[in-house]
Amino acid sequence: MSASDVSAWCESHGMKRFRAKQILEWVYQHGEPDQLKWTNLSERDRRCAKEELSVLTGRTISHQLATDGTQKLLIQWDDGPASADPLRVLAEDSSLQTECVMIPSLGQDVHRKTACISSQVGCPVGCKFCASGLSGLDGNLSAGRIVEQAWRLGQLEGVGRISNIVFMGMGEPLSNFKPVVNAVRTLSAAPPEGMGIGARRITISTVGLPKAIERLADELELPVTLALSLHAPNDDIRRELIPWAEYTSIDQLLSACSKWFAKTGREITLEYTLLGRLNDQPHHAKELVGVAKSLRANINLIRYNEVDGLPYKRPRDNDVTRFQTILRDGGLNCHIRASRGRDIAAACGQLRHEHQTDSPS
């Protein structure tokens, strides 16, 4: 619900409009999900909120902490009747599970806390190297459930305020367009109407839907960052790795990204996952230089995190360094993303996949 939705709800239930601000303060500033503890509302209003407003609709069924401070949650979305015990999971149905990750900064910015959140349950894209799409798409997340992931990560002990958001968890954000856009508006809204995360600190990562990229530039007035999951220097390799690439060429994606930059003035981030001996060799890097130089773009190189049951390998360190050197020599702004949370299966979809594998049939 937007702030105006909450105001309308208050009025429709005989409450003053200022009650909406108080409700939003309890949720986003005080982090209090129990409506009966909203003490500046009357008992009647608190009970009404308890009966009709759902603050949280998920349950954390796995919480893992990595040695580097990264924390990962597996959330069960309960679509059945509510349990009287808020800590009890009604049914661990993997078709209703998503992951989110809190990634603290390893540098000097100790206040940087990045929430990597999911937009869908499973993923329709089915990238061959990714655990998220192994079981296909089970459904879309609502705007509320997208926001709830960031909220939950911010409530973890010692985390405090989430400073950055990346839509790089499970799902293809632009195939769940409206909920993602509405969630971004809430995440970026100033308190008490939202979480107060500046739009420039929010990144939407897409495998590449040209029309949706153009629509996002037109519809979302906020200065978010767009990240394109490229992962290959040519269409042949990309189609081998990404089934949806059969319908879209790299040239079409670059055209849509150029329109994004012309409309928003925001540089594109190209995400490139390095897979050992498959797309990480010098000739791949030289080919990528030609592709990327047509855009105002930054390049993030990502070392592959292995997934049990998949044949892809993590690249060798010297191959990664050589790849970056070739891109930089070609005049590109290129960074190697630090691998985080490898000891807790922090790569996209890994925890859900391992939870499915470990669960009795």
CA angle in degrees (0–180, nearest 5) for 216-269-309: 100
- List the catalytic residue out of 10, 123, 127, 348: 348
Q: Among the options 10, 99, 271, 334, which is catalytic?
A: 99
Q: Is 133 in a helix, a strand, or coil?
A: coil
Q: How many helices (H) and strands (E) does the chain have?
A: 11, 12
Q: How far apart are CA 96 and CA 102, in angstroms?
A: 20
Cβ–Cβ < 8 Å for 268, 260: yes
| Strand 97-104, strand 113-116: pairing | antiparallel
Active site residue 99: yes
Which of 58, 79, 235, 238 has its CA nearest to residue 149?
Answer: 58
Q: H-type helices in the chain, by residue range? A: 3-12, 18-24, 43-52, 143-154, 177-188, 210-219, 235-241, 250-264, 282-292, 317-329, 350-358
- Among all residues, which ones are annotated catalytic? 99, 348
